Amino acid sequence: MKQGMLWYDSQTARDVYNSLNLAVTYFKDKYGFAPECCFVHPDMLKDQAKKDSTIKVLPDEKVLRNHIWMEFPHTEKAIPEPVK
């Protein structure tokens, strides 16, 4: 986890995959590309049926509950400025 964006979802009753969808959509709108992968607290993935996703979702205890860390793609190029 080097460069990325942290997303907080205050709606604790929301399904983790719905939260991921909202976060990834926002990330794509802001930066113009999808995150390479997303990290969430392991508790957020408990009791959740794995859904097929084009973005890899990984558990990481360093990420707080109800937060999603979206990783910028690994590249030699500089990360582009956000779309305004």
Is residue 22, in this structure, part of any structural domain at all?
Answer: yes
Is residue 9, in this structure, part of any structural domain at all?
Answer: yes
Q: What is the pLDDT of residue 2?
A: 78
In DSSP notation, 13-26 reads: TS-HHHHHHHHHHH
Q: What tens digit of pLDDT does each residue of 23-69 get?
A: 999 999 999 999 999 999 999 888 665 666 678 899 999 999 999 99
Residue the block writes with tokens 């509950």: 65
Cα(77)–Cα(40) distance, rounded to whole angstroms? 26
Q: What is the pLDDT of residue 15?
A: 87
In terms of residue numbers, what domain contains 55? Answer: 4-71
Query: Domain tally for the chain?
Result: 1
Q: What is the pLDDT of residue 47?
A: 65
Is residue 82, in this structure, part of any structural domain at all?
Answer: no
Is residue 80, in this structure, part of any structural domain at all?
Answer: no
